[in-house]
Structures are given as C-alpha cells and as structure tokens.
Chain A
Amino acid sequence: MAAPVFKNPVIRWIDHRLPVFSYLHHEAYEYPTPKNLNYWWNFGSLAGVMLVVMIVTGLILAMQYTPHVDYAFNSVERIMRDVNWGWLLRYLHMNGASMFFIVVYIHIFRGLYFGSYKAPRELLWQIGVLIYLLMMATAFMGYVLPWGQMSFWGATVITNLFSAIPVIGDEIVTLLWGGFSVENPTLNRLFVLHFLLPFVILGAVVVHIIALHRFGSNNPLGIDTKGPQDTLPFHPYYTMKDMFGLGVFLLFYAFWVFWAPNALGDPVNYELANPLSTPEHIVPEWYYLPFYAILRSIPDKLLGVIAMGASIIILFFLPWLDRSPVRSGTFRPVFKWFFWILVFDCVILMFCGKYAPEAYWMPFSLEIVDADTFTARVAEVRGIAHDEALTAVGDMWGVNAAAGTFGIKIVRLGQLGTLYYFAYFLVVLPLLSIFERPRQVPLSISKPVLGGGQSVAHATAKSMEKA
C-alpha cells in the first residue's frame, strides 16, 4: 500500500519523523473491511465508545469521591446533590456499566454465532475473553465504592469465595481484605484497583485491535475476503455506519440515564453499609446473575467456585472445542438451534441467579413463590394435609405436576441451565464438528451479490439465506 501524501506541510514534517498519520490512515481510513458486515458488527466499536465514556465519567467522579468507609456513601450523595452536573456524571457512569455489558454480551454472542473465534482469529478471541474478565473485576470493584448495603454484602460474599481455595484460601482473603473483615483497607484497595483496571482494559483493547487488523474482521458469511472486490475502506463506509448505530444506541442509553436511572440497580444500595444487618437477599448486578446461578447450582463451595470460573475459562478453549471448518452459523443448520438454546439458557440462568434457590418458579401462572407457599398450593389443589403435600413436593427436581400446580425449584432449574451451558461447549460443539453437514458456503463475498443464485457452487445452496 502506498504511503499517503499529506498536503499540510506540518503534518508531512511530523509524519516523516513519527509516522502516526500514516499509521492512522492505514488502520482507520483505508483499512479494508468486508463489505457485507451487518449491524451485529456495530457492537465492537460501541464497546470502545463505552470504555471511553466510563473512563471519562469515572475520572471526573473520582475527583469528588472519598474512599473511606465513613465518607464514601455521603461523598457519592454529595456528587448527586451538590456537585454541578454530578447527578448526570454518576448516572452516566452507573448505567454506563450496564450498557457496556449489554454491548459486550451482544458482541460476544455475535462472535459465537458467526464463528469469529476460529482460525486465524483464536488469539483475537482470547484477548477478548481476557477483556471481559477484566471488565467483570472492574465492575465488581466499582459497585463496592458507594458503600451501600449491597456494596458491602456483595464484597463480603465475593471476596469470601476465595476462601474456598484449599490451603492458601484464607490467606488470600486476608490479603484482599487488608484485615479480618471487609473494612476500610478493603474499600481503599478496591478503589485503587477500580481506577487502575480500566487502563489495563484500554491496553488490552489496543492489543485486541492489533490482532483484529492482522486478518481483518470476520463477516456474516464467515469466509475470507478474496481481494479488493470483497472489501470497502473503513472510512467513510464503516465510520458512517458505526455513527448511525451509535446514535441509536445513545438513545437507548439516554432512556435509562434520564428516566430510569435506578431501575437496573438494587434499591438496598441506597442504604448505608451496615455490617450488623444482612439484606434479605444478596443479589449481584444483573450482568453477573448467570454466573451466580452456576455458582449456586453446585452444593459444594469449592466445586461451585470452580464451575463458575470454568464457565468463563472454557471460552479460552473454544477455538479448539469447535472444530467445524465452517465459521458462520448461517451455514450450520444444526449448530444454529443449539446456539439459540444457549442464548435462551443464559437468560434462564440470569433469572435463576436473581431468586432464592429454594423458591419455586410456576411457569403457568408466571409466579415465583417460596417453598411454603408452593407446598400450601399443592395441599390446597390436591386436598391433602400440609405434611402429605411436603412429601409430595419432595426434592426430586422440584417438579410437581399435580393438577394446577407445576413448579420448578429455582436451584434445579439453575442446575439444568448449568448442565446445558457446559454441554454446549464440551459436548455439542465437538460432536457437531464431526457429525453436522454444513450447507455449501459461497465462494466469495462479492459473488453471490453480483451473480445471484448461479454464483453459488451447488444447487443445494438455493436454500441458503442471504446474509
């Protein structure tokens, strides 16, 4: 590629000595991008925008925040009440975390569906998983900072998970706490790390983009670009497409910030942390719920922690678990179904993480009821005594199909969900790689568009969907 000639002499002078402008021209302007990217490909740049929003708002919030157990809660309220535009900064930041996770989840599932993790993009995918892990750690630490009830008890529960590690677990927890309980030193270290990690994420994002630009974006057809006829320069085509997507996304973001700023959070966090009073339900933020459900679905603490960790670590190995040569789910008739079940499974797990494990979900009346209420309903419907109903309900997967009462114990539902989650990666994908017969993949990105049906190699591809 020829180096660009800059008209501005100052730019030319600088670029000759420090080729930043050539570099930008190469990577952000002429960078060849597949011409068939759909709107699911907007979420990568949206995640980048959210990272910047979080760093900028967070930086300004940190100028007003006091990381001390006696002042943290009130300093946040001071930001809300007395700092000019403080309420806006804080609501942008706290809802921004949820928006960031929504965007990243869509980005991850896009990668899962279109096989963006497959060769030669394995490292790109793994760096992405690392970014996601860093985000989870950062968001958790940030949630502790306002020092509300859920901040404190969330911190207690999560840090306590490390005590499950044999031999050195307790030492690690003491180190995390900086003492023998969640106290001021804990808050201090979480604040410092919450400030540091976003910049680590930023670095990881740069590496993610370098890896991306090595082979370029995957695309909805999942086939390699064959030449200039398959690509478009990044600017203005994708800069403008991303701009439109950004506008739509910001409208969504604005709705939460301006009209439902506290809807995604827990009301209990507007009460000052009180180590002597445990909230009725300790529930993490929505974006952790599926993992919380996996943790709770295993009765043993250590095994639960391992399962939760494994549910993310497994993503690192995904490129070698799915060995199907076809990237895009569009051409994988069986894979497609399992993929959508996985999406649904994650929603179910989220819902299981939200509720008490011993509660019952009654799918026909769309209710969640506690065990007592459920037993009482069974007794009433069957016309039997309470004790008898207790035996009838039992613990056998928590299902009771007595007329009019059908309930699934939340923890059992979570176990089924966990089972499918792991089966998807460890059983379904490896088996599909062997047994699935993918549809014929088009020869190139430009051909099906230019030549209609004839350009596709086989007649079977007639049923192929136009991506």
Chain B
Amino acid sequence: MSKGRILLGLTTIIVGLAAVAMVAANPVHHATVHSQSWSFTGFFGHFDHAQLRRGHQVYKDVCAGCHSMSLLAYRDLQDIGFTEDEVQALAAEVQVEDGPDDTGAMFERPGRASDRFKEPFPNEQAARAANNGAYPPDLSLIAKSRAGAGFLGYEGADYIHSLMVGYEEPPANVTLPEGMYYNHAFKGHQIAMPPPLSEDGVTYADGTQATLDQQAKDISAFLTWAAEGNLDERHRTGIKAVLFLVIFTLLAYAVKRRVWADVH
C-alpha cells in the first residue's frame, strides 16, 4: 500500500469514528445522568446477589405500592438466592384471584411461587385515579427501556439511580404545578412521582446501612436484574464462545497460511 492510500484510509477511519461517536452521543441532553460502577458491567460482570436481595426489599417495601412488575414470577426470586421455602412464603403473603371453581365462582387464594408478582392496581384507570392522574409504569423492563441510546449510552441502572437521588428544590424561576416534583434526572425535570426513597426508609435484613445512595443503587441493580435476568448466563456463555472462536480463528489462520504457502 502506498503512503497516500494509508493516509487516506486513516483519515476516513478517524473522521468516520468521530461521526459515529457523535451519532452515539445523546443529543440535546436536558436530563443529567451520572454513571456509577456496577458489578454487572464488563466482560466478567455478574450480579451481586446480596445487593439484588436488598433491592428486592426496596422494591417490595416501596415501589410495589404503586408499580407493577408483571413479567416476573415469585419463583424467579430463587435465582437471586432465596430458598424455595422463602419464595413460597413470600408468594403466600398476597391473595390472588383464581377460579372459577366447580360452582362457577371466582375465589381468592394465597399466592404460589408460580404466580406473577401481584399488581397493585386492577387496571390503568385505577392506577391513575390513585396517583393524581399519572400512571406508574410497569417496572419489568424499565432498566432496558430507560437506557441511554447507542453504543456509548448509559446503563438503565445509571438512569434509575440518578432519578432516585435526583430530587431537589426547583430553581427560583420554575413554578411546579400541583402534585409535581423537581428532579434533575427526569426529562423536562417535572415528575409526578413523589421522592420514593429516604434515608433509612427501609431496614435491610442483612444489616447494611440504608443510606439514600445505597437504596438507590440496590433498587437500580434489582431492576436491571428484573429486565435482564439472564445477564450472568449471557456473560458466561460469551466467554466460552469467545474462547472457542479465538482457538477456531487461530487454527483457521494457520491452515490458511499452510494452504496458501505454495501460491505467489
């Protein structure tokens, strides 16, 4: 290759990469999201089960009052270290409608491990009526649907954490409508959800100090697990796949060199 061609190629690559980086960067960034370090990022990243159980406690004691999590079943909690008995006990805390029975009537029974998480409201209208007209979104996939777009975007967990700790007094020139709160991580800064977490708002079963930041991190990790429960398995499988592919590729390269040795 001539120098000119190399130079041309390099220039194209650099300019191209710069353009792609700009495509990836978030435009018109009204809301501020700060990156945190998470146990589940990186090539070997995996969930911290103790953290997920704390996060589940925050979810159960705080979020579940208004937010559904319709895609998860109680049995899924066994994946984060709850025993079968604990899961059954957790499920039995709620009453679920079942039926019809032999007489054709619906009846209530204690929840089972195979039941989906019980939803706090029977339907969207009821949820809105109880929440000043705002609809608390389902949290099953919130960590995936609130991630920063693009390759260089932030994790959904970063967003949730920033939102949890992002409540503040509105600036002097902002007047909030009735029932709205000011949050710097939320788009447009006006959010209908009252600050859900407070210092020592929950008492952790494992004795961890329940600071606001600790709770925010734990719930963010838990919601990431809820959206992407197979992440650990995915990373483990990926490592195996890459190891296999590296060996395969090296062998293929050696064979190719050998086969082509007599050409030219």
A→B interface (CB under 8 Å): 35, 74, 77, 80-81, 87-88, 91, 232, 236-237, 240-241, 243-244, 246-248, 250-251, 254, 257-264, 266-271, 286, 336, 340, 343-344, 347-348, 350-351, 354-356, 359, 361, 366, 368-370, 373, 449, 463, 465-466
Contacts and interface: CB of A to CB of B under 8 A. Distances in A.
Interface of B: 1-2, 5, 8, 12, 15-16, 18-23, 25, 27-28, 43, 71, 76, 137, 140-141, 144-151, 153, 156, 227, 229-230, 233-235, 237-238, 241-242, 245-246, 248-249, 252-253, 255-256, 259-260, 263-264
A243 B258 CA distance: 13
Contacts of B25: 366, 368
Given A81-B71, A232-B263, A247-B249, 4 more contacts: A266-B149, A268-B145, A270-B144, A368-B22
Prevailing SS type, chain A contact patch: helix
Contacts of B151: 260, 263-264
Contacts of A466: 1
A254 B8 contact: no
A88 B233 CA distance: 10
A448 to B, nearest CB: 11
Given A87-B230, A254-B241, A368 B27 contact: yes
A247 B141 contact: no
22 contacts: A35-B263, A74-B71, A77-B71, A87-B230, A87-B233, A88-B234, A241-B260, A247-B249, A254-B245, A259-B43, A267-B146, A267-B149, A267-B153, A270-B144, A271-B137, A271-B145, A344-B16, A347-B15, A351-B23, A355-B27, A356-B27, A465-B1
A121 B164 CA distance: 61
Contacts of A369: 27-28
A271 B1 CA distance: 49
B12 A258 contact: no
B28 A270 contact: no
Contact of B249 (A251, A271, A361, A449): A251
Contacts of B28: 356, 359, 368-370, 373
Contacts of A268: 145
Contacts of A77: 71, 140-141
Contacts of A340: 8, 12
B12 to A, nearest CB: 6
A267 B145 contact: yes
A258 B227 CA distance: 15
Contacts of A269: 145
Contacts of B27: 355-356, 359, 368-370
A260 B228 CA distance: 12
A271 B234 CA distance: 22
Nearest to B141: A270
Nearest to A286: B23
B264 A449 contact: yes
Contacts of A250: 245, 248-249
Q: Ordered nearest first, which 5 A-B pairs have the shortest CB separation?
A: A258-B238, A247-B249, A270-B145, A368-B27, A244-B252
